[in-house]
Amino acid sequence: MRIPYNKQYIFGDTFKIISQSLKSDLITTGKYVKKFEQKIANFNKVKYALVTSSGTSALHLAFESINIKKGDNVIIPAINFIASYSMLKKMNANIFLADVDNDGHLSPITLVNCIKHNNLKKIKAVINMHMSGHIKYTDDLLKLKKKFNFFLINDSCHSFGSKYIYKKQVFNSGNCSHFDIATYSFHPVKSITTGEGGAITTNNKKIYKNIIAKRSHGIIRDKKRYWNYKINELGYNYRLSDLNCALGISQLNNLKKIMAKRKKIAKYYFKKLEKFSEFIDLPDKNLINFSSWHLFVIKFKSNLIKDKYFKDKVFNIFIANKIFPQYHYIPIYNFKAFAGTKKKLRGTENFYKSALSIPIYYAMKYKDCDKVIKCIKLVIKKFK
Ligand SMILES: Cc1ncc(COP(=O)(O)O)c(C=O)c1O
């Protein structure tokens, strides 16, 4: 059987709740949407949660809600999914790519370097990305946010269910006490899925109001005369249907199990792979109880990487064994569609060259993990 790098798991209670949602009067903008949003807000202990048609539309609405406009300076990490870049580019923002640390994360050092190197006086927003589900540097990023006065948006698409510590207190990724907005994706590979879908959390009422209108064409309905509405700003159709939300509710009800299983697999990998430290680096084990383990990224050390085709050869070894790992991510500046300076960043290049996301998902069995480990051993044997 094929072993992908990630995939959804549909729990037994899902079918009942989806069929119930189908019997509702409203199968979009109905009570399952409200309930799912409430559950997301309660889980994250945040004031507002809004679901959207995707993680990308969540990012787009988040950017519009803080009024990013032509020429505004926005910083994103260079190791990233393309969604932030493409939305910001379409909004004509000035996008600056910051380098990443060993773990593929924007760090206070890479952020300050980006600000200094580009001589940025005014920064509208920094879009941090919780690579792999790990949340890092909250204290320092908050300090920099205050110093440079930027909006801090967390692209938390990898981190639904992840936690972080701030001043000895534990927070869920979408809590928004130490940043302005979090966005999620509920694509099937993520911690929880709605098929396609996303969400935004914030404690800021103004941002919330802006997003709620723009999610549905900018329409603001008259509370007393339902047939009447005004449109002050144009919006989109970025809504998520009740059917999707019913699936999301079932997933969220099972989140504890999902998190426990992902952690169990991560622990198994740590146990079995630690002895290969001469050849591979593992993720930060201190995050074992805090990460959603959306990804388990191993990094091959330079003693294995003999030529530029190394990763292709690695993929071929896995694929021959019906295992399908993944790259996260090709640096944004490598794409033809990237319009800025193509200068390569050191941390980004190192990460890109060496990182591989090995399979981790709810239905995975130890025997599947063993097959993955066997391939890693084959790679080491072949290239050492
Ligand atoms: C970090 C990150 N941001 C944004 C997105 C976009 O989410 P979606 O695919 O739901 O639009 C993804 C999804 O792959 C992601 O991983």
Q: What are the sequence ranges of the domains in the chain? A: 3-253, 255-383
Do residues 87 and 123 make contact, with C-beta atoms less than 8 angstroms apart?
Answer: no
> Ligand 1 mean position to 81 CA, how many Å?
6
Among 292, 334, 294, 317, residue whose Cα is nearest residue 383:
317
Checking phi first, is residue 154 left (phi over 0); if not, alpha (psi -120 to 50) or beta? Answer: beta
255-383: which CATH number, 3.20.20.70, 3.90.1150.10, 3.40.1190.20, 3.40.50.300? Answer: 3.90.1150.10
pLDDT, position 345? 98
When pLDDT is cut at 50, 70 and 90, the band that residue 342 belongs to is: confident
Closest atom of ligand 1 relative to the 130 alpha carbon: 1
Residue spans of alpha helices (H) in 118-236 = 138-148, 205-214
Q: Which residues contact 209 (CB under 8 A, 6 or more apart)?
A: none
Closest atom of ligand 1 relative to the 56 alpha carbon: 11
The whole-number average pLDDT for the span 285-307 is 97
pLDDT, position 138? 97
Q: What percent of the chain has pLDDT over 90?
A: 98
Tokens of 92: 């004509």
pLDDT, position 174? 98
**Residues 105, 305: Cα–Cα separation, whole Å:** 22
Q: What are phi and psi of 360, to 5 degrees?
A: -155, 120
Among 343, 354, 357, residue whose Cα is nearest residue 78:
343
Tell me which CATH code domain 3-253 carries: 3.40.640.10
pLDDT, position 341? 82
Using a 10 angstrom Cβ sphere, with 0-12 exposed, 13-18 middle and 19 or more buried, the burial of residue 271 is exposed
Mutate-to-test residue for ligand 1 from 5, 8, 51, 56, highest number of ligand atoms within 8 A of CB: 56
> Ligand 1 mean position to 190 CA, how many Å?
9
The whole-number average pLDDT for the span 225-252 is 97
pLDDT, position 132? 98
Please indicate whether residue 188, judged by its CB atom, sits closer than 6 Å to ligand 1: no
Closest atom of ligand 1 relative to the 189 alpha carbon: 14
